[in-house]
Every structure is written in structure tokens, then in C-alpha cells.
Structure 1
Amino acid sequence: MKAFVAKLLPPLAVVGALTLIPLTTSSVAAADADTMKELDTFMDVFNQVRATYVDPVDDHTLIKGAIDGMLAALDPHSSYMEGTDYSQLKTTTDGNYGGVGLSVTIEDGAVKVITPTEDTPADKAGIKAGDYITHVDGELLYGLDLDEAVDKMRGNPGTQTTLTIVRPGRDKPFDVKLTRARIELRPVKWEVKDGIGIVNINTFAGNTGQATEAALTAIDKATGGHPLGYVVDLRSNPGGLLNEAVRVSDAFLDRGEIVSERGRDKKDVENWYAKPGDMSHGLPIIVLTDVGTASAAEIVAGALQDHRRAIVMGERSFGKGSVQGVSELTPNSALRLTIARYYTPSGRSVQAGGIEPDIVVPQLSDPDYKTRPAVREADLRRHLLSQAAVKEDVLENDSTPDPRFSATSEELEKKGIKDFQLDYAIKTLKRLAPGTPSTVAKSR
């Protein structure tokens, strides 16, 4: 999956000889002896393949295959990257690449859509979370690894590609023709509606925190310094950089912990805290989440929810509560490895469980919302478990939405409501607002 919380680490240290590892106890020596036996088995297989496989295979192909196989035994977010794969990782976190704008994963050998990125060719063409992509330009994707599948969909802006989609609930596959574009992600968009500042954050790239702060300043200016409240829209946000999630959370908090990161060692704990100064002036906030809200976006939602700074509304989030470190091995290759779980200020791990909304609001304006399956972290093979006990009923069953949410998409369209969740959030904030704009100004 491309959606991840990236954290740069120093290059891996390579020990040149076994004798450089101190053997201070018999238990360590025994462990090293067991490791050597396993490595001997690996070398036996490696040498036999080199010598007797029906076609010649170069050493690089065999070693890369061994590394890929080793990491495939871990969680789905750990991988080895080289060449174009590593370049794609860097361009994605920079928020600038050529493609169609999809976050995808591999499920049982098939490419499944996690979420389309807003305002990209895939989003405009109507590709949905939960869709399967079986072919690109007639070429079967089944059996490819994730990087290979993504590489097929990316390409120079202006070039055309055709994706074959299988959508659960439909009888037949269908083709979607797309023109690739330069995906220069605008991480933050904003507007003011009925006195409510709407901050739409669609990714956590290198400038998301700064762009969020600029959006809050612009909303203040547009409302004469008196917005009634804020909607922070994190729907279909696949995540990104940890430090940007911290900066975004800090913009809405005046104090307290934002997130903690806990590694393999119990002592390996790192905490991030808010600095004084709430750019949202303590006004009411609603955070919108859905099944595509993942990773860094869940950090923001969890921090604001735990501090009772915001009402989380919408659907349960994706549930990616792990941190990936990226270690550059050579200028052309890197290891992306899950190194920690992150926790919300109250000590919750969202890994595999996600953020539960305070108010469950279905997207009634989407005619397929009842039939389209939701794909979350817990649905991925080898997903990392939360260290906290996660009850199966929490993973398998979402909270039941209020029975009052019964309008059809056709009925909403007649009323001019294109986004029911956003419309409901705005109406809720107007009820929560401390008063008219003038009253708000006096209350600060």
C-alpha cells in the first residue's frame, strides 16, 4: 500500500564479518549458531539454483527475490525498493508524480483500490474504494507485486490508459479510459460556507502543515475574523508524513500530547506535543472520516478526538496505526520497514481497528454506499495486530448509523445536496456555534 507514515532514518549499518559481533553470553552464541544454520540452508538453495535451474539467473535477481520474500513474511507495508520503485516513493511523498491518482493494495494477488485521490483523473472518472483493477491497457495485473502494478498505471502526463474494473455488486467488468496527469497534490483546499470554514486535507506531503495554517489564516480573513466553526475533511486521505500530521494537529490544539510512537523495545517511546496557540480559536470543530482515512490522517483525527477538541463524524477509518522507516541503502535503493506503532493521546492504538466516529453518518449521496465493500487494514493479509486487544466485533461490524439517515441519493440531489456528510457537518456546526458572528467575537 502506498498510503504510509514515513520517517527518515540513518542508513543501515552493515557488519562486514561475523567476528565483529561480540558474543558476550552463551545464549547469544547459541542464537548466532542457529542463525548460521539457517544462512547455510539459504546458501545451499542459492547455489543450487545458480548451478542447475533450467535457465541462467543472475545473482541480483536471486538476491532481490530473496529479500522480497523475506519482507513478504512481514506486514504489508514493509518492502525493498530500488530503481523506479524508490523514485516513485520519493515523488509520492513530495506530492508530485505522473499517474491517475489511486492508492491501491494487493489482496490475494489482485489490485484493490484503497481510495482515489481527490480531483485526480481516477476520482473524476468515478473509480471507487473497493474496486478491483484487473487489467491495464489489456495487460493482466494478477500476480504482480504492488510496485509492478503501480508502475503500470503511472506514466507521462497526457498519455492515455484504460483500466478494467471489477466492482462488487456489478455483473460484468467495465473499462475506464483515463488520461494521466501530473499529480501535483494540493494537500489543502479551503472554503467558507454559511460562516463555517471548511479545510479539506487530502494528503500529508511535505507542505501540508504549512498549507493548513495558511488555510486557517485565509478563513479568518474571509470571515472578518469570525468563523462559526470548522470542518476538517480527512475523507479519502491515505496519510503521509508523520511530522506533517503533528503540525496539522498542532494548528487546532493549544496544549497536550498529539501522538506517541512505540517501537520494539518498551523503552523505545517517542512523544510529540502541541505548542501554545490554537489557530482555530477554540471554536467548534467537526472532523470528517471515512474508510479511506488512513495513517497520518488518523493521527490528526485521534488527537483532536481524544482532547475533545473535535467531534469525529462519518465512518470508521482505515486503521493503519504503524510507522514505516525508510533507510536508504544505496543512492538507488532503500528499505521501507515497519518500526513502530503509534498511539493517540489516550493511549489508543488504531492499528487494525481505526478511529470510531462519535457520530456515524453514512454518505447517503453516494448511491452505492450500502453495497460497496469497505476495505480496511484488518482486511489485508499479514496486517500488523494492535498490541491492545482488539475485539473481533469491533473489526467486523461498524456502528449502526442513526435510522433517521434514510434519504436516497435521488432525494438529496433534488434538494441540491451533493455531499450529505459535509452538509450534515455544516448544519451540526451551525447548531453548535456559540452565537452570531458578533457574539463569537465577544467570546474570544
Structure 2
Amino acid sequence: MKTSRLVVFALAAGLNIGLAAPVFAQSPAPSSTPTSSAETYRLLNLFGDVFEQVKAKYVEPVDDKKLIEAAINGMLTSLDPHSSYLNMDNFKDMQVDTRGEFGGLGIEVTQENGFVKVISPIFDTPAQKAGLQPGDFITHIDGKSVRGLPLNDAVDMMRGKVNTDIKLTIVRKGEQAPFDVTLTRAVIKIQSVRPQVKNDVGYIRITKFSEQTFSGLQRAIEDQRKEIGPKLKGFVIDLRNNPGGLLDQAIAVSDAFLNEGEIVSTRPRDTKNTERYTAKDGDLADSLPIVVLINDGSASASEIVAGALQDHGRAIIMGTRSFGKGSVQTILPMPGNVALRLTTARYYTPSGRSIQEVGIVPDIIVPQSKVETVETGQRRSEADLNGALHNEDTTTLDAETEADQRRQDAEKVTEDDYQLARALDMIRGISLYGSFRSKS
């Protein structure tokens, strides 16, 4: 998706979201198509001449700072969809966001065909509660068209005070006409790890990769082990609609389930500076089965985790093809408390796959669909028949009753999430198969 740019709406600024690498500036590699020094200075002089003409003759007075910042941002955004200039407010909000708390709508977007496109709403935010979906196009903001606007300008239109309303006009595939959605801006505190116990399976939803993600994962697994006990059959890691985040957290989450081997490599223009990240011994899941759920809202750091566990055969990847963002952005602080977000490398899975524009293809493709239950009246069984033989083994009956109750409970918690229901089935199936093999 070459025309896209991933952004998160924050209280005071629009921030790029994706894969953030540690901030280390390196000496640039030689350009493959160098421009002579004389030509470079001629072009810089041309820029100065244009700037003076705009200042002197534009129909309205212009602010020098805004003009120069717009020129810088234009230079960076012309490189690729994810490079950009972060002014003082943008830079501050980005730092807050990676710590897991910011203000805004809770929506990650990109730009496509001149409109703002939703990549994913963040769980439990105004955008998610309002029903925004991946793939939605935002065509108007408070009645004003965003077609052709730079994404930063569209973000500026959505800025505002907490507890104020904003109206978005949405075009959605399958809907005959555009419709309006009103959201209330809020301070968003992202709990990046949201665990639940699904009877005998640990379910862990990771909404993004912020500074607390790995520690939250550790706590979730420890708590679920204590709560479920020896009946624990495995884990479902839900990365659906997770737009990415910090590279080191993606590596740590992958390492949590691997004992050895490469997790990911990042390859800059100068391949001599390629970095490879490898797993340390220790599997938090103790080799129990893992299913990872992904969809087209899973991007960047989410794809690193899914790709690493898939290449090592450590997890079954289930759902739909992921977003396909395979580039690394480095935050380069500049004088004046501003920064550049610059694409500095591509990342590759352990088998050497680049996910850029391709994404992770699940091992088992499961489109999302509501689980439909068929009402057949009261359940009938052999015990209902007249003259049925009585089973004297009450232990077996109790065990069967308990298992039946667990199945009913599982149906209740997954009745609106077909993909999750299939993931839980897969975990239990693998566990059952393993028990059969151990007995043979």
C-alpha cells in the first residue's frame, strides 16, 4: 500500500504508529545516484528563492516557521508513507503514546485514494465503541471534505479538547450510502495486554506494543496458570487490529515463546549494518500449544511476532492476511525538541521473508463470522429413552457433566467471535491429540 501512512490520532497531534526502532543515528551510506555538490547547492539556493517569493507575493501573509516545517514534512513524506516530521507537539505526543496513554479518538489510519482509511480502532476507545471498522474510509470531518488533504492536515482537523464531539462521515464496503458517526474525544489509557480465562485455555489480547506489553504478558500468563491450574491446555494470543508499536517489545513477546533461533532481522541500506535479534532460552508457555489470531488490522510489530512464531513452527497462525508493513522507522531527535521519523530499514522474518506489502498469510484462514446457534429445543440423549440402561459409574457421569458445562460456557463467551471460537477449538484439539499420542 504505497500511498498509505499509518497515524494515531492524539489529543494534540497526529502521530505515526508502526514499528519504532531504538534512536541511534548512523552515518549515511553513499547514495547510489549521487548529486554533485554544485548541483546540491544550486537546488538549495532555488529553495531559498522560492521561499522568498512566497513570503513576498503570496496573497496572504505566511508564517515562516509553518512554511519551513511544511517544506521539511513534504520532503520526508515524499520518500515513503511512514517518514515524517514531528514538531514539538507531535514529538511529545509520540513519547506519551509509546508509554501507553494519550488523548484522542483511539484510531489508527492510513491514506488511500485521497481519503483517510481506517486501519483499526483501538480496543475500548471512542472509535471502537462507535463501531468504526478496519477498511472504513473517512470522507468528511465535521462536514468538511478531506479528499486530497495531506494526512497531517486531516489529523489537525480532528484535534480538540477532551469531551468534545466530532462528526466523521464514513464510507463502508457493503453500505449503499455514506453515514455519519459522532465520537467524543477522550483521554485514552491503553492497557496493551488484556487477558481472560476461557475455561481451560488462556486468552491474551495484545492491543498494541507499548512499553508495558511484555511485562503485562508475563503477568497474564502467571495469573492464568494459577487460575486454570493443571487443566491448562494452551494459549490464544490475539493480535487482531493491533497496529504495531515498539520493536523491542515485539522481540520480547516473540522471545517469550521461543527457546532459540532468530526472531527478526532489520536490514538498512548499508547491509553491513544488518541487525539480527535471537531468542534466549525459556518458553513462558512451557511448550503448550499456541494459536495466534491476526487480521488485516494486524501490522508491523504484530507481524514480527506472528512471522517469528510461524517460521519456528511454535504457533498456529489463524485468521486473515495481515496488513503488510515491513519497514522500520527510527526516531531521530533534532535541535528544538523536534524529531524526524525516518524509514531506515526493512525487517525480515527468520526464514528471510520480507512482509512489506505482502503480510503474513495465516496457516489456517478463518474469516470473521458470527457463530450461529441452532435452537433444537431441549437436548435429548440416551438417558431420556424409556428403559435405558443405568450407568453405575457416577464418576464418569460427573466428568461428562463438567465437560458439557465447560463447552456451554465456551459457547457463551465466543458466540459473537467466530475466529476466537475456532482458535479455542484448535487448542483443545491439539491438546487432545497429544494426550492420545502419549497413551499409544
**Quick one: structure 1 residues 431 and 254, their matched pair in 2 at CA, closer, same or farther if it must change by over 3 Å?**
same
Matches within 5 A, 1:185-334: 185-334=190-339
Question: The residue matched to 1:267 in structure 2 has which SS?
Answer: helix
Asked if 1:71 corresponds to 2:76, the answer is yes
Q: Between 72-81 and 290-299, report the one with greater CA deviation.
A: 72-81
Unaligned runs of 5+ in 1: 15-24, 368-412
Matches within 5 A, 1:17-416: 31-365=36-370
In 1: Cα distance, 2:90 partner to 2:413 partner: 46
In 2: Cα distance, 1:181 partner to 1:51 partner: 42
Paired residue for 1:425?
423
**Quick one: structure 1 residues 416 and 32, their matched pair in 2 at CA, closer, same or farther if it must change by over 3 Å?**
closer
Q: Contact between 1:12 and 1:327, CA under 8 Å: does it hold in 2?
A: no
In 2: Cα distance, 1:435 partner to 1:322 partner: 39
Counterpart AA for 1:6: A
In 2: Cα distance, 1:208 partner to 1:269 partner: 26
Q: Deviations over 1:208-267 (max 9, x none)?
A: 011111111111111114410111110000000000001111111111111111001020
TM-score calculated relative to the size of structure 1: 0.80
In 2: Cα distance, 1:101 partner to 1:213 partner: 25
Counterpart AA for 1:49: V
Q: Contact between 2:371 and 2:415, CA under 8 Å: does it hold in 1?
A: no
Q: CA RMSD in A?
A: 2.8
Counterpart AA for 2:17: A
Segments of 4+ moved more than 6 angstroms: 11-14, 27-30, 413-416
Counterpart AA for 2:345: A
Q: Contact between 2:414 and 2:421, CA under 8 Å: does it hold in 1?
A: no
Q: Contact between 2:168 and 2:181, CA under 8 Å: does it hold in 1?
A: yes
Q: Contact between 1:197 and 1:229, CA under 8 Å: does it hold in 2?
A: yes
Question: The residue matched to 2:298 in structure 1 has which SS?
Answer: coil
Counterpart AA for 2:426: T
In 1: Cα distance, 2:278 partner to 2:231 partner: 27
Counterpart AA for 2:21: K
Question: The residue matched to 1:224 in structure 2 has which SS?
Answer: helix
In 1: Cα distance, 2:33 partner to 2:124 partner: 55
In 2: Cα distance, 1:29 partner to 1:276 partner: 46
Asked if 1:9 corresponds to 2:11, the answer is no
Q: Contact between 1:291 and 1:316, CA under 8 Å: does it hold in 2?
A: yes
Larger radius of gyration: 2
Deviation at 1:425, TM superposition (A): 0.8
Q: Between 317-326 and 102-111, report the one with greater CA deviation.
A: 102-111
Q: Between 165-174 and 51-60, report the one with greater CA deviation.
A: 51-60
Unaligned runs of 5+ in 2: 1-14, 373-410
Q: Between 73-82 and 160-169, report the one with greater CA deviation.
A: 160-169
**Quick one: structure 1 residues 56 and 121, their matched pair in 2 at CA, closer, same or farther if it must change by over 3 Å?**
closer
Question: The residue matched to 2:16 in structure 1 has which SS?
Answer: coil
**Quick one: structure 1 residues 142 and 90, their matched pair in 2 at CA, closer, same or farther if it must change by over 3 Å?**
farther
Deviation at 1:331, TM superposition (A): 4.5
In 2: Cα distance, 1:180 partner to 1:40 partner: 44
Question: The residue matched to 2:140 in structure 1 has which SS?
Answer: strand
Paired residue for 1:387?
none
Deviation at 1:335, TM superposition (A): 0.4
TM-score calculated relative to the size of structure 2: 0.81
Q: Deviations over 1:312-362 (max 9, x none)?
A: 111010000100001111343110000000111111110111001111111
**Quick one: structure 1 residues 214 and 282, their matched pair in 2 at CA, closer, same or farther if it must change by over 3 Å?**
same
Q: Contact between 1:235 and 1:293, CA under 8 Å: does it hold in 2?
A: yes
Q: Deviations over 1:353-376 (max 9, x none)?
A: 100111111102299xxxxxxxxx
Q: Contact between 1:12 and 1:329, CA under 8 Å: does it hold in 2?
A: no
| Percent identity over paired residues | 50
Question: The residue matched to 2:272 in structure 1 has which SS?
Answer: coil
Q: Contact between 1:254 and 1:278, CA under 8 Å: does it hold in 2?
A: yes
In 1: Cα distance, 2:253 partner to 2:154 partner: 32
Q: Deviations over 1:74-132 (max 9, x none)?
A: 11000001132223322222221122211011223311111111111211221111111
Question: The residue matched to 2:340 in structure 1 has which SS?
Answer: strand
**Quick one: structure 1 residues 85 and 139, their matched pair in 2 at CA, closer, same or farther if it must change by over 3 Å?**
farther
Deviation at 1:154, TM superposition (A): 4.3
Paired residue for 2:399?
none
Counterpart AA for 1:275: K
Q: Deviations over 1:378-424 (max 9, x none)?
A: xxxxxxxxxxxxxxxxxxxxxxxxxxxxxxxxxxx999721000001
**Quick one: structure 1 residues 258 and 28, their matched pair in 2 at CA, closer, same or farther if it must change by over 3 Å?**
closer
Counterpart AA for 2:423: A
Q: Contact between 1:98 and 1:155, CA under 8 Å: does it hold in 2?
A: no
Deviation at 1:153, TM superposition (A): 3.1
Counterpart AA for 1:106: Q
